[in-house]
Amino acid sequence: MDKYETHPYDVIVIGAGGAGLRAAIEAKSQGASVGLICKSLLGKAHTVMAEGGIAAAMANIDPSDDWKTHCADTLRGGVYVNNWRMAQLHAQEAPERVRELEQWGALFDRTADGRILQRAFGGHKYRRLVHVGDRTGLELIRTLQERTVQLGVDVYMECTVTNLFKEDGRFAGALAYWRESGRLMIFQAKAAVIATGGSGKAYKITSNSWEYAGNGHAMVYDIGAELMDMEFVQFHPTGMVWPPGVRGLLVTESVRGDGGLLKNNKGERFMFKHIPERYKGQISDTEAEAEKWLTEIREARPITARKPPELLPRDIVARAIYNEVKEGRGSEHDGVYLDISHMPAEYVKRKLPSMYMQFKELADVDITKQAMEIGPTMHYMMGGIRVNADSQATNVPGLYAAGECAAGLHGANRLGGNSLSDLIVFGRRAGLYAAEYGKKTPEAKIPDAAVDRAEKELFAPFDRKSGPSPYEVHRELQEVMTTYVGIFRSESDLNTGIQKLQQLREKAKTISVEGNRQYNPGWHLAKDLDTMITVSEVIARGALLRKESRGGHARTDFPKMEDAFSKVNFVAVKDGDKPKVEPKPLPEWSDEIKKLMAEEKK
Ligand SMILES: Cc1cc2nc3c(=O)[nH]c(=O)nc-3n(C[C@H](O)[C@H](O)[C@H](O)COP(=O)(O)OP(=O)(O)OC[C@H]3O[C@@H](n4cnc5c(N)ncnc54)[C@H](O)[C@@H]3O)c2cc1C
């Protein structure tokens, strides 16, 4: 162990997106020594890409909004398999976390009388998303980053954590390498907050950044932590479909929230055909009413009309688009049209500056005059590391998780805006409890043998003189996940997918990488493949067991929701070299939540 650069901390935070930064701020504020580690540059985490806003029931625009309605929207959007306690804490604490951001210097868009402006989004009953045009993630990261630096948190950038270690049944520390030099280092820590985001790079068409390789999920799973609900993968309805080089790039939901219409190649607003039973009564069912809503939005008047069906939750809209294309009513490049050109050009440019630039520069489309072509793109993982609702603790003492890599809040489908609020609410909680644990717990010794084994595995691709390239295996993985574990699934496809993933796991063990350790992206990818394949197999196995369709999980052979599955989460643990996935009962709703949901149904 002496041969490694070693850093001791009460708490390490792995990941410097919204969740990691907020956790680090809290842990440091509680008096713990904190090391924050991220594989990109500080300020460049995936969170920076977030566009539409942060969901928080501040009631600035719609005075009837409150935490109860936000909580009910989250549970309904998650098709009732969310952890109710997380949904409650999230809705209750989000407004305070937003106000805190403002105190730390965040500059949100404003109402005419100076309050924080809020916009409409899919699945939210009221205008709830706090935003900065369509660049909210940038402001969130900027604010949290400044606070982190101000507090004196030690930051390790361009540093990838590859393994976590356990001793005496509890977390003991981590192995990492500097991306630039390939040199190894050890973090001797008493507690860790995992905040590493999702695993979208396992799919061919995705809105996710290169960082999303399931590292955190696979590392905690490797030392006995549980993963939950991994079958729930969100396909966002609106990704770019053309030109091919930018396929999958996100087109924010704000386009629809600010008045964008979805149309097929017959000019039909097809979403009116796709309003599910549980949303009937809440959504406009005529174009006339939807038009009234649009006028009220355009003129910033109080809303009296029900929302248009374009603003149904993402899972519903994504599947509707998929079916329009499959049935021959798609656009030129196998998408559908998203049109906001009926709104004033000045309004579009002010509300959606990034979208205006994105289409102008990448697709030569002026969205103030022309419709966009869009289609579903893999966007978000509702499933993740299983945590305690209050503390974000995993089942491994000393190990905490927050943000997209954690599970529970969003159930089967996440509502737009609920991720950024998730990051600040549960990032803070994870930091708080990790600090409490880290400050009072003695150091655990990292086992030498485990470090030696990890080092050997890490450098093995350099020792092989021949073998497939990591890029080839990555392409195959993306093909398998998109074809067999995609937006629609079936038993035979999933079985084929699992078989192919197992073959890929074997193939990945033979990968050979050229060159040396210094900034070698092929070698970085070789390690990421290991974690992506692990996460992908857990997704596929969960999907096979959930014999129903719910939220982000749609089975062609079981197209309906089934009662038997409404009361369970699927939980995966490592069992030898395979995941063991089993149903576990969902925590029962408290009396308060039962009452709330009964009232909401009226
Ligand atoms: C284009 C786009 C727009 C979006 N818009 C919105 C929106 O408007 N509202 C909303 O609520 N949500 C939105 N989302 C979703 C939201 O942005 C993400 O879910 C959220 O930012 C995830 O934050 P995080 O802190 O969990 O992870 P991230 O921000 O992804 O951070 C992960 C961190 O982990 C680090 N990391 C990963 N692996 C390792 C490792 N092995 N070692 C060290 N570091 C590691 C990364 O370097 C990074 O710092 C959007 C997503 C996309 C793609």
Q: Is 410 left (phi over 0), alpha (psi -120 to 50) or beta?
A: alpha
Over residues 481-507, the pLDDT tens digits come to 999 999 999 999 999 999 999 999 999
Which tokens in the block code for residue 482? Answer: 């998109």
211 ligand 1 Cβ < 6 A:
yes
Over residues 530-580, the pLDDT tens digits come to 999 999 999 999 999 999 999 999 999 999 999 999 999 999 999 998 999
Over residues 306-340, the pLDDT tens digits come to 999 999 988 899 999 999 999 999 999 999 999 99
Model pLDDT, residue 602: 63
Atom of ligand 1 lying closest to residue 136 CA: 8
Model pLDDT, residue 297: 79
403 ligand 1 Cβ < 6 A:
yes
In percent, the amount of the chain with pLDDT more than 70 equals 99
417 ligand 1 Cβ < 6 A:
yes
Report whether 159 contacts 37 (CB < 8 A): yes
Over residues 7-35, the pLDDT tens digits come to 999 999 999 999 999 999 999 999 999 99
Model pLDDT, residue 45: 92
Over residues 246-257, the pLDDT tens digits come to 999 999 988 998
Atom of ligand 1 lying closest to residue 162 CA: 41
Q: Is the pLDDT of residue 1 over 90?
A: no
Model pLDDT, residue 278: 81
Over residues 393-418, the pLDDT tens digits come to 999 999 999 999 999 999 999 999 99
Model pLDDT, residue 69: 96
49 ligand 1 Cβ < 6 A:
yes
Q: Is the pLDDT of residue 228 over 90?
A: yes
Q: How far is the CA of 19 from the centre of ligand 1 (A)?
A: 8
Integer Cα distance of 383 and 538 in angstroms: 10
Over residues 334-366, the pLDDT tens digits come to 999 999 999 999 999 998 999 999 999 999 999
Model pLDDT, residue 301: 82
Q: How far is the CA of 398 from the centre of ligand 1 (A)?
A: 23
By C-alpha distance, which of 7, 53, 36 is closest to 423?
Answer: 53
Integer Cα distance of 307 and 283 in angstroms: 5
Q: Per-residue pLDDT averaged across 453-466, rounded?
A: 96
Closest residue (by CA) to atom 2 of ligand 1?
50
CA 586 to centroid of chain Cα atoms: 21
Sign of CA dihedral 576, 487, 80, 88: positive
Active site residues: 236, 256
Q: How far is the CA of 17 from the centre of ligand 1 (A)?
A: 5
Model pLDDT, residue 582: 97
- Which of 162, 351, 420, 424 has the most ligand 1 atoms within 8 A of CB, as the residue to mutate? 420
Pairing of strands 568-575, 399-401: unpaired
Q: How far is the CA of 405 from the centre of ligand 1 (A)?
A: 9
Over residues 434-444, the pLDDT tens digits come to 999 999 999 99
Q: Per-residue pLDDT averaged across 369-380, rounded?
A: 95
215 ligand 1 Cβ < 6 A:
yes
Model pLDDT, residue 600: 77
HSE-up (13 A, CA, CB side) for residue 418: 35
Integer Cα distance of 444 and 463 in angstroms: 32
Model pLDDT, residue 51: 87
Model pLDDT, residue 314: 87
In percent, the amount of the chain with pLDDT more than 90 equals 90
